[in-house]
Structure 1
Amino acid sequence: MSIDWAALGQVFGVSLVATVVLVGVFTLGIVGSSTGRTQGAQGGGASVLARTGAYVCFALCAAAVAYGIYIITAA
């Protein structure tokens, strides 16, 4: 049995980067969705923009998860 260490390292690196990026995007979504509640009625336009950005972040996370499930099940 032979282990291809280069391929294993590549999979580890890509998985690590993808995980950090996905968690970062989800965190931006949470921050964007919570800023409107803390500012109250003062930041009307900014809270709409933050909420829209949060929805985009959540949609990107859902798309990444759906793509991962597609890759797993397509084989």
Structure 2
Amino acid sequence: MSIDWAALGQVFGVSLAVTVGIVCLFTLGIVGLSRRPQTQPDGTAAVAAAGAPAPTALARTGAYVCFGLCLAAVSYGIYVIVA
């Protein structure tokens, strides 16, 4: 029995890169949907109140695109495993 170390390393590298990419996309989606902290008049950050402004439409759209790309990547991975 022989192990093709080059192929094993290639699989490890690609899986690591895809995993980090999906985690980064999901993180960007969460950041896009999170609320911004309000600032006080002196410029310091204040704790966001319950009435803090919601994220802008562009941030929400970008977050949904990130979540959609995550869903597509996971769905493709499941398809490849099953097929």
Indicate the TM-score class for this superposition, using the shorter chain for normalisation: 0.7 to 0.9
1:69 and 1:15 map into 2 onto residues whose CA distance is 14
1:7 is matched with which residue? Answer: 7
Higher helix share: 1
Match of 1:69 in 2: 78
Q: Residue by residue, what CA displacement relative to the aligned partner does 1:15-48 show, whole Å, maximum 9, x if unpaired?
A: 0100111100000000001136x4633xx7x611
| TM-score (norm. length: structure 2) | 0.77
Question: What one-letter code is carried by the residue in structure 2 that aligns with 1:68?
Answer: G
Given residue 60 of structure 2, which amino acid in structure 1 is its aligned partner? R
- In structure 1, stretches of 5+ residues that fail to align are none
Structure of higher CA gyration radius? 2
Give the structure-1-normalised TM-score.
Answer: 0.84
Given residue 55 of structure 1, which amino acid in structure 2 is its aligned partner? Answer: Y
Size of the alignment, in residue pairs? 70
The equivalent of 2:58 in structure 1 is 49
Which runs of 4 or more aligned residues in structure 1 lie more than 6 Å from their structure 2 counterparts after TM superposition? Answer: none
CA contact (8 A) 1:35 1:47 kept: no
CA RMSD of aligned residues (A): 1.7
What are structure 2's unaligned runs of at least 5 residues? 39-51
What is the match of residue 17 of structure 1?
17
